[in-house]
Chain A
């Protein structure tokens, strides 16, 4: 019997064509031992949540640099809840002002990481959160 790996979906919603950050994050989570599904640019919230559902991920990470983070995170969170995926951690990062970050976190989005954040912090945060949400043994 194999141990269950943490599975993460990394997605770029919206219209900005800037996916370097998302790719760096995806590679660093892989290097932290996670299985990372990368979906590419220009994803709608509907596409992201459907991919998260099919892949049965533990975590959805959004990278948003377009300024549209409030509606995008909210929409993804709503869709996750509609599909009964309340146990999936929604996190992410990008250029997000602290006040918006606090607002989203209060609504149930996980911690959001700004430009300068260490990728190792993201990995430890994900590990800790998934351990809380999932009683099964981790790797």
Chain B
């Protein structure tokens, strides 16, 4: 895996990709044939459940079974200053000098959904570089911030006792996006109760009985359950089913990015097209909003550049 100067080159490439510069785009194009090999694990859940600690513990176990791992950790940007405080490395210090681990923090940069707009591209670059597992840690998800499913092949939803978010999680649809449910802080006396609430909630699903073995009680602090979870995730990532899943994910992610890019180009053009005629026509009662919009749309599509 990447040694000294190679790591520096990778780090710089990730910056270009994150900032969507022409160099970044060219790099992704070059890497395209090699992208789609890595297992992409999404780790999400309410704030304070120990996502970073869990990721740290999972990385340790994945390393123990010989896998190379990249971590992409997303933290929120401040809507007022545009700055961000990226603190996920605090819990990942033990891997700092391991050449088989690469950690990159991303600011969400105004993008809702718990991810940054270029998260998928950054993961692509790490994938194309040869990391076997890419762990994506989202910002603490509140409600309806569930974009992680668009960028991860396997989604872990993490809950913990005492955070009071179990019920919120049920409401938000957070539980529905999971492939695995992880109750962290097994060393906490409330963990059994959280586990049983979760099992009850999931039993209401049509596939309730089949998914009971996808519920895991772990402790990132003392390591309980972590190696079993890591081994299971890795073994399920091998084979044709996983490979199909990866192909689907790649197509889905590319489609999302393509639509976003096209919308960006379109709205740039739209803003340059004069709309005075349509506004006057609306003011005079000569057209409806829908017909005025259609007229503007036609003009925009006929405009150059």
Contacts and interface: CB of A to CB of B under 8 A. Distances in A.
Interface of A: 1-5, 26-27, 29-40, 42-43, 46-47, 50-51, 53-56, 83-85, 139
A38 B82 CA distance: 17
A8 B14 CA distance: 16
A39 B84 contact: no
A33 B81 contact: yes
A38 B20 contact: no
B27 interface: no
A84 B5 contact: yes
Given A38-B89, A40-B90, A53-B8, A29 B83 contact: yes
Contact of A54 (B11, B78, B93, B109): B11
Contacts of B105: 37, 55
6 contacts: A30-B83, A40-B89, A42-B93, A46-B97, A47-B93, A54-B103
Contacts of B249: none
Interface in B81-106: 81-87, 89-91, 93, 96-97, 102-105
Interface of B: 4-5, 7-8, 11-12, 14-15, 19-21, 77-78, 81-87, 89-91, 93, 96-97, 102-105, 107, 109, 117-118
In the A-B complex, the 8 residue pairs with the smallest Cβ-Cβ separation, listed nearest first, are A40-B90, A30-B83, A47-B96, A56-B11, A56-B15, A33-B83, A37-B86, A30-B85
Q: Which of B14, B86, B97 has the most CB of A within 10 A?
A: B86
Contact of B8 (A38, A43, A85, A139): A85
B96 A51 contact: yes
A11 to B, nearest CB: 10
Contacts of B86: 35-38
B83 A31 contact: yes
Contacts of A85: 8
Nearest to A139: B82
A53 B81 CA distance: 25
Given A30-B78, A50-B96, A51-B89, A2 B109 contact: yes
A34 B107 CA distance: 10
Contacts of A32: 81, 83
Which residue, B85, B97, B104, has most C-beta atoms of chain A within 10 A?
B85
A1 B85 contact: no
A26 B103 CA distance: 19
Given A5-B107, A56-B15, 15 more contacts: A1-B21, A2-B20, A5-B82, A26-B85, A29-B83, A30-B84, A31-B78, A33-B82, A37-B105, A38-B87, A39-B93, A40-B90, A40-B93, A42-B93, A50-B97
A28 B14 CA distance: 26
